[in-house]
Every structure is written in C-alpha cells, then in structure tokens.
Amino acid sequence: MDSILSPFIYIIRTIYEACYSLTGNYGVSILLLSFAVSLLLLPIFVYIEKAKKRDDAIKRRMQPLVNEIKQVYTGQERYYYLKTLNRQFGYSQFKSLVPILSLLVQIPFFIAAYQYLDNLEAIQGVSFGPLADLSEPDHLFGFVNVLPILMTLVNLLTVWFYTRNGNTSERIQMTVVAGVFLVLLYNLPSGLVLYWTMNNVFAFLRLFITNREVFSRKNVPDSIEANKKPDQKEWYYIFRTKLKKELSLNWQSYLSITIISFIILQLFYTTIISEQLHVVSKIVGRTIAALIISFIASTLSIYYSAIKNGIEKTPTAVILSALFVSLYLYLASLFNYNGVNEDLAIMSLVLSVILQIICVIKTKLLSEIKFKYFFQFILLICLVIQAFHFLSLENTHILELLNFGNSKTNSKMQDVALWGLLFVFIILPFTFRSKAKTKLNPGFISFFLSVLFVSGFVLIWNPLVTFSTFPEAFQFGAKSIINSGLILMPQIILGLLFLYWLLPKSVRFYFSVISVMLVFISVIHSSIIPINVGTLQGLNYSRSSEIDTPYLEYLLEAFANVGLFFLVRLLFRKYKIRHLNILLIILNLIVIGQALYAIQSKDLHRINEGDRIVSLSKNIDISDHNITLSKDKENVVVIMLDMIEGWYFQRYLDENPKTKTIFDGFTYYPNTVSSTNYTGGSMPGLIGGYDFAPLVLDEDKEHTLREKMTMAGEQLRDKSQENGYFYTCSDLPYCKIDKGTYDRYIPIWSDNWSPLKKVLNIGQSRNIGVEILRYNALFFSSPLLFKPVIYDNGSWHMQQKGMNEQNDITRHYNSLRALPYITDNRASKKTFTFMSYKATHFPWDIIAEDGSFVQNVDPYTNNKWGLDIVSNWLKVLKAIDTYDNTRIIIASDHGLRHAKDTAAVMINHPYKNINYDKVPWADMLNFSSLLLVKDFSSTGEITTDSTLMSTLDVQNISFNGNSPLMIDSIDNRTLDAVKVSWEIKMNENKVYPILRQYEINQNIFDINNWTRIK
C-alpha cells in the first residue's frame, strides 16, 4: 500500500511544503494544498463530465425504446432485448457510475493527505482561525464538530445543483456518499477535514466550468420530464399525504409517544444530551429528540406491513453478518486499548436490538415450535436483565426515581449489549430454514496452504524480516528463530490437520474458508495497510497510542471481514479453488523469499555480545569486566544516560536536597542543547565533537550513517589511547567498531557479574527476544480487534508481576544497577572510560530495590531512578578514593521523545514565551539534554551555570577541561538543533532525513531565542 501511495504522498508533501514556504502559515497552506490538488485534477474532471454528458445523451435516445421493451416483455426475454439494445447504442449500465469517478479520482489524494497530515508533527497544537488545534477534531461547540457538518452542507449543495437536471437515483447515490464522508470524517483531525471541505468548495465552483447549465432550469431535457412517472417524481408528496392522514387519525397516540419519550429522555439524560450544555439547550434538544421518535413511530406505522414482509424475507446470511458485526463491536469495546469503549458498545447494542426485533418477527416469537413457553421464558429473562442494565446505567435516574433498589449499580453499556447478543444467540437457530443440501468442496489443500502460511509467517518468516532490520539489537542469531520455528510449526500444523479430519464435511468447508480468510487478513494488515505504531523499543511501541483505533475503523473492518468471508466462500462455490491454491502457494513463496533475502549469512550464527566477543581479542583479559580506575593518576569518565530530560535534574535536586552533597564539585548546565532528537544523530557528535555534528556529517555523501557513527567511535578510541589512557568502553549504539581494539570492553551484562544477581535480586535468565518477534508478527497480522489483546499494554503476556528475570529487556536496567558494584581502583595508569546506558530511554520502566520490574512509569520517575543509581556510584568513587582525581561528565544524547501525557511531563517546566506554532512542544523536549561536569580536584556544593552548551561539547570537556571549551565568545554562541525523522535507516542512509532545523542562542528555555531555518 505504501508503494502505491508513495507518489501521491510525495505530491502532497511537495505542494504543502511549497505552500508553507510561501505563506508561513499551516492553515493557509492546507487551503492552498486543496486548491492545487483540485487544479491538478481539473482536466480529468472536465473529461469525466464530457463523457457523462455523451452517455446521458445516448441514454435519452434509448429511453423510449427501453420503456416499450419493459411494457411488452418480462423475465429473461426482457433481459436479452435490453442487452441487445445497449449493445446497439454502445451503452453499458456501468456508465451510470460515471458520477462517482470524480470522487474515486480524489480518493488516492485524500488517503495520501490523511497519511501526510496525520503524521505531520508541525501542525500539532497549531491553531487556525476558530480551529484551536489542526491535529484534533474542531469541537467548536462542545462535543459537536462543526467543520464536518459544514463540509457535508457544501457537499449536499453541490449534489443538489449537479443533479438538478438529472435523475433521482443519481442524487440519492451522491447524497449517500456525502453522508458516508460525514460519518468517516466526523472525528478526524480538523486539518484533514479542512482540506476535504475546501475540496468540496472547489467542487462546487468547478460546476461553473463543467456544468454551467445546472444553474438554469431552461435546459432541462423534455424527455426526462416526460419519461418520469408521477409516482416516481412525487414520491415525497405521497408520503406526506399518508403521514398527514395517519397523524390526523391517531394524533392522541403520537402526542402520548412524544410526551413519554420526553420524560424518559429527561430521566435518562446522560445518554442523549451532554451535561455540559445549558439547561435550555437540553430541553430543546430532548424535545426535538422526542418529536423525532414520534415521527419514526408514525413512519413505521404507515409502512408496517411492508416492513414486516421485508423482515420475514430477510436472508439468514444477512442476519448472521449483522450478528458477527455486533459481536465484533462488542468484543472491540471490551478489548479497547484505552479501556472499555462506550461508543463501540452502543453500536453493538443498536445492531443487537435490531436483530432482536428481526428475529422476533421472523420466528413469530417462537409461537410455532415445541417447548415454546420454555424458550419464551428464557427470552423474557434476557429482556428483563437487559432492560434492568439499560435503566441502571451510570448517571441515570430512572431506577432511583422509582426507588428500585438501595445499592448503586455498576451497569455499563457493554452489559446491555451482552444480554441483547445472548437473546439473539438463543432465538437465532429458529430463524433458519431447511434448504436442499449442496455438495461443497471442503478445500483440504487450501486449508493446508493457509495453515502453512499463517504459522510460518508468525513463527519464522516475519520474525526473520524484523530481525534483519537491526540484527545487532538482538542477543541471538537468525538460526535461533529458524530452529525453534521448525520445531513449533509441525506441531501446530499437525494439530490443526487432526482437528480438521475430526470435523464433519460441511464444517470442514467453513473451516477452510475461515483459514483462507485469515491469510488475506494477515497480508492486508501486515503489508497493505499496516498500523503505524512506530518502532519496538524494548517491549513497547514508540507510537503505541495508535493502537487506540477510532471506532469507525472497527466498524469498517467488521463489515470488510464479512465481505471477505462471502468473497472467499464464493470462490469455493464457483470452483475457483485451483486458482485460490495457486495464489496461496505464491503468497507462501513470497514471504519465504522475502525472509531469506533479508537475512545475511553472517547473521545466522550471531553470538551474544559479551564474554564471547571479548574472548576473540588477545589483548583483553576476559576474567575482568569491571570499570577500573586509578587512585593516583587522572581518570576521565563519561556516563551517557540515553534520553534524560536536561531540566529534570533541577527538579531532582529540589526534591532530594541531600543529593547536592553527593554531587559536590559538579557544575550543572541546564541550558544544554542536543544536536538532534535521535540517538543515531546525536551520538556521533557527543563522542566525536563538532567534526561529527549532523550537518557536517551530511556533507559526506560516501559513507552510510552507521559507518560515520563507527568513525566517531574509532576517533574517540584513538584519541584516548594516543593520550596514554587505558581505554574502557561499553556498547555504543549503531557502532560497528571492533571491540577487540579496546583496552577493556564492558558488555551490557557479563557472566562475571553473576554474584551480583543475589545482591540486585535478579531472577533466572531467559531469552525472550524470539518470543517478542513472534508476538510482533502476530500483532501485525491480526485484525484491529485483537491487537490490544496481543500487545497487552506492552507486556505481551510474558511478564510476571514482581519478577525480575534476566532477559533481553531487563538486562539493560540491571546493567545500570550494576554500575556501583563493578567499579574498582586497580588501574596502574590513567584511564578513560565511556559508558552508554539505555535504561533511561523510552519505554520508561524501572526495577525496584526488591527486584520487581515496574513497567510504564512516567518519564521523570524513570529519570530519577537512573540518577539515584548514578548518585550511588558517586558514593562508591568517594569510598575507593578515586573521586578527586576523576573528571566526570554525565550527559544525555537528547531529551524526551515519545512522551504521551504533556501535562505530566511538563510539570514545573522552565519554558517561557511558548508558541507551539513556532516550536512544537515535542521539539522543546527533544533538544533539552542533561550535562553535568566535575573537573579534577573540584570541590564545593554543586553549582549551576546557565551558559548555552551543546552535547557536541562533551569531547572538548573530556580532553580539555571544563572551560573555556575552546570557544572564544561563548556568551554569544548560536547552536544548531536538527529534528530528524525516526524512520531512518542507519545502514542505508547517507544523510539525515531532516524534518526541521533551528538556530538557538542565549537561552534554550526562551522560545523567542529559537529561529526556525527549515
């Protein structure tokens, strides 16, 4: 899907950026984008309208002959005569869909605009006119979104004029489309709705070019008026007459219905009208709702017999499909990512109530079956319980008014929907009518190929593809995935085949249909329209909030799954199984080939980073993985804590005054800017200095970004060793440096540290990397309904509360916890140590003192946890007499990213003159880095220096001291801050994908000092 849409997204992005460069306003740029796209498509619209007018002229010439054929012939004979007539005139019924073509042409641009604007961070928090935030629904009147309604009104106006001289069916067709877009776009970001609204405005203005005659009734073709029958032309007149007669005869009944409805709405107000509205507005709203209910009742009364006949003829397949959708929405409401979703439950309830009515009418309330009283009693119980839960919903007052029960109930909309579904499940079997049995092909080969695809995709092929994107992040080789997968796959396949043979033939058919369905669902969700949840950071996705899918997408997927089921079943029944099997074989070959192509031979036998890598070097003593310092010679130690927010340290000191003495001799630089928002962009400069700044590295077009990161690591190593330091280093992110060239390599975790497991309350070791990759594959291949269940808020059903097992995730946290215990004073020469820790990076988890692994804490709690460990390490340095002769730099490569709760993150923030149009809040957090420096023999209470600093200064500080940092006029310096896209391929990209670029001077916390360059 991305490859199909990429040209359209490129066009949208290019036009939008050009518009913004001209206007400097995001809202105006959206308006100009809509105009430019409409102008771009204008020739196509003109061509479509010419084709339509030509076809309409043919149809008008045919119409008298069509009417004559319909009057004389019936059945198959009529069909063949009409078909012959269409062929003679060169007309096809599909040409009646021409008016929709203008919409279909815009759909790719609309989807591209949706993807681009939805992911455009620049418009987050940006206002435009009355729209407070272009990245959110407008909510101009409380819960009411005005812009989608305005969009629909413009659309309907266009439809009215466009079809003014046309037929009624065309108008109905286009009106339905307008209604569908109102529903689909109602809760979407106002920026996107603004784009589509302007598209509708330009569509209306386009009528002056393509359909100028619609603004005058002089050109109405006489043949159209003559061929319309009075009942077709004036159907609304007939309805109005019947309604008037019904109301005049039974006005007392409908007045009673109106009054009773108003009273019920008054008692049950929270489910209909928002509490935030004014009292008068509430009364007016409930009065209108009561009148609508009365109108619906009268309409049903007029057409009761027709509705009843229609319900009795409703096919079982339609009922089963509606039941599936209702059940799907009910389960989606329970499994929702952010907890129970009332909107989904309400939709499920509406469908279940409709099904209840249909089933009751269709079965005549089970009046013609045996044991009817028993089943009627069961159904009555379901209805009573359903009604009780409905009247007991939270904040309703009906039962309280009736003094029914003293205890407050906790009924939810899900309870009402559940009992409605139970009612339907009980009565549904009695709606079936026996049919002549048809011979069905069970489709064994299709079932086998489907099981082979799904099991292989989840267990082996997709995990291999994911593994290949960044093999160094895993502590195992691709062979581990293949070996374990080849053990599990046969067991699963044989188990399902055994179950298949146990089933009756008629059930096997549907078993095969569902299995093929699952293949298509897997392909659609993993490859065509995958959910954008960012990257997997530990156990959490960086954009996990995207799992909270809008309810309309659930509804669309439910109906899409129904359509997919009938499509697959049709293929089975139309004896297209051979073609289907060929497609399944091709899909299996594609995923296998994709995985094998992605995996390189060197990754098959990848071994753990740690003792076994270090043992390859003859220059390193494998028996010792401690950080060793000298008691009498100088030591330089750089501790890099990934993603710690710089200004959080002041809050840490304020909340923990005793730590000021622990950090004695330190200087705190709160006014520190990171060079980028991303580790792959900021680490080369933090390690290598200004020669490895992002904009400098982009001048090198020959090497990949990973190779540049490796060069920075090599430069730091060489500079340390050339200056006579004993060089100790940990794993550096995105760096392919030969660790055998270090004087000492510190792995993330060493077997030599096993005695610490008891001290740190570390449990048994377990490799969960392969499991995570398989859960990840299952997540992406599953429908929206099951994604929150599989993700399980980042625990993936693998973590046991209160347990700190040593696995692929917790070892990063235990590595930092081990820091105070692996530092000694046995070095005989001066030392340089660089330690990089990612335990303070998103997702923000911690390991408590008792060893329990606590997930999803807020960023500050995680940062505080990391600083507490560093504080304990400083105490150790003092205890082993290495503190005074050690220069210590504690830094972070960049500030917070992926922060979800702005309010919690920004507590007591130091920013002023905030302007989200100029600098989004995410950028402010991204570029605020931690920088703490203690020089040799530095003493006294920690001080604060407001000098503007950069993460690029770390190397200068390491080798040249705290001040003057080799800068002549440090007070007047201006620093670059580059926002790069997270979707970056370090192994392939040679330049950084820059989204925004700022120049910052004087004070990072004053937004007036930020100048946007790009």
Per-residue pLDDT, 437: 57
Q: Nearest 5°: CA angle at 811, between 807 and 815? A: 165
Domain ranges of the chain: 5-159+169-213, 282-309, 314-394+410-432, 442-606, 634-750+810-1012
Bridge partners of 141, per DSSP, are 144
Cα→Cα distances 263→274, 389, 481, 679, Å: 17, 19, 64, 62
User: What's the predicted TM-score (pTM) here?
Assistant: 0.68
Q: Which amino acid, one-letter code, is at 785?
A: L
Per-residue pLDDT, 367: 67
Instruction: Give first-to-last CA distance, the chain, whole Å.
Output: 29
| Buried b / exposed e along 815-848 (16+ C-beta atoms within 10 A) | bbbbbbbbbebebeebbbbbbbbbbbbbbbbbbe
Q: Which amino acid, one-letter code, is at 115?
A: Q
Closest CA to 888 of 664, 638, 687: 638
Closest CA to 211 of 168, 159, 134, 265: 159
Q: Could you state, in chain order, the average pLDDT of each consecutive group of 10 residues for the chain (1014 residues)?
A: 68 86 84 87 79 75 78 72 74 59 73 80 78 81 77 86 69 77 80 87 82 61 43 56 76 75 62 46 68 76 72 82 92 87 85 87 72 82 85 57 48 84 87 62 88 95 87 78 91 93 86 93 88 81 82 85 90 78 92 85 49 35 73 95 94 91 95 93 94 94 93 95 95 89 91 86 83 92 92 76 72 92 93 95 88 88 95 95 95 85 75 84 89 92 92 90 52 87 82 91 91 87
Per-residue pLDDT, 109: 82
Q: How far apart are CA 819 and CA 833, in angstroms?
A: 12
Q: How far apart are CA 633 and CA 492, in angstroms?
A: 63
pLDDT in tens, 142-176: 667 888 888 888 888 888 887 776 666 667 777 87
Bridge partners of 628, per DSSP, are 824
Q: How far apart are CA 841 and CA 168, in angstroms?
A: 61
Per-residue pLDDT, 544: 83
Per-residue pLDDT, 99: 56
Per-residue pLDDT, 958: 92
Per-residue pLDDT, 233: 44
- CB distance 154 to 197 below 8 Å: yes
The CATH code belonging to domain 634-750+810-1012 is: 3.40.720.10
Per-residue pLDDT, 338: 83
Q: How many Cβ atoms from other residues are within 10 Å of residue 408's Cβ?
A: 10
Q: Which amino acid, one-letter code, is at 540?
A: N
- The maximal CA–CA distance of the chain, rounded, in angstroms, is 113
Per-position DSSP letters for 85-104, written without gaps between them: HHHHHT--GGGGGHHHHHHH
Per-residue pLDDT, 374: 82
